[in-house]
Structure 1
Amino acid sequence: MKPQLIEDEIGRHLRAAEASGELRQAASFGKPLQDAAGWQETPEALRMPFKILKEAGFVPPEVEMLRERSELAQQLADCADEVERRSLQTQLANLEQKLALRLATLQGRGQL
C-alpha cells in the first residue's frame, strides 16, 4: 500500500468541503486573500522567513520594529499638531536608522 501524502489528504478534505457546499459558505470564498499587516513593508527577502516564524509563534525583533514603524508613520500622517509631528518624525527617523542597521547586520551575516 502506498503511503498517503499530506497533500493527498488535504485534497480529499477540500473536495469533500466543496461537494458539501461548505467552501461556498465561507465569507472569503472567491475573493483574493488579504496581505497580512506589514507584508508590503517587509523586505522581500524576509517575508517568507518571517511568515514561517510568525506561524510558529515567534516574532523576530525586526518584525516588531517594522510594525512600530508602520504605526508611527500612520500617527504622523494623522497628526495635525506641529510639535507632536516633530516628535513623531524624530521617533520614526531613529527607528528607521535602528532598523536599517539591524537589517544591514543580518545581510552582512548572509541571513538575508
Structure 2
Amino acid sequence: MQSPRDLDAAIAAGIRASEQSGELQRAKGWGKPLALDDGYAATPAELRMSYKILKDAGCVPAEVEAMRELAALRAELAALEPDTPAWRAKQAQVQQKGLDLALQLERLRGGA
C-alpha cells in the first residue's frame, strides 16, 4: 500500500508532465478564473458530497427545486390582476410555498 506522500508525489509528477506537454493548456477553462460562487462554501459540510453527486447527475436538491417553484409562482402572481379571486388564490400558494421553503432551509441549518 502506498503512503499518502507517495500518492502526493505521483499526483505532482502527473501534473508536471501534463504542464510540460501542454495538455493542461488545452483543458476547458484554461486561463479563466475559477467559479467560486457555486454555493459550495455555503453548503453545510455534511451535505457537500451528496449535493455534488446530485449536481453531476443533473439533479437538484429539494430546496433548490422549491426555490424554482416559488419563483415560478411569483411570476404567475405578477401576471395576474391584483385583488381578484385568482390573484388571492395564487398569493396564498406563494405564501405557503415560501413558508415550506423557509422550514426546509431552517432544518438544513439545524434549527428544527
Question: Given the two structures, how large is their TM-score scaled by the length of structure 2?
Answer: 0.56
Bigger Rg, structure 1 or 2: 2
Measure, in 1, the Cα distance between the counterparts of 2:3 and 2:96. 54
The count of aligned residue pairs is 100
Task: Give the drift of 1:54.
Answer: 2.4
Q: Could you tell me which of 52, 57, 64 is aligned with 1:66? A: 64
Counterparts in 2 of 1:17 and 1:74: CA distance versus 1, 3 Å = farther
Q: Is the 8 A contact 2:54 2:61 kept in 1?
A: no
Q: Is the 8 A contact 2:24 2:30 kept in 1?
A: yes
Query: What is the aligned-residue identity percentage?
Result: 27
Measure, in 2, the Cα distance between the counterparts of 1:88 and 1:7. 57
1:82 aligns with 2:83: no
Question: Given the two structures, how large is their TM-score scaled by the length of structure 1?
Answer: 0.56
Higher-RCO chain (CA-CA 8 Å, sequence separation at least 6): 1
1:33 aligns with 2:31: no
Q: What secondary structure sits across from 2:100 in the alignment? A: helix
Unaligned runs of 5+ in 2: 82-86
Unaligned runs of 5+ in 1: none
Q: What secondary structure sits across from 1:108 in the alignment? A: coil
Measure, in 2, the Cα distance between the counterparts of 1:43 and 1:100. 20
RMSD: 4.1
Name 2:111's counterpart in structure 1: 108
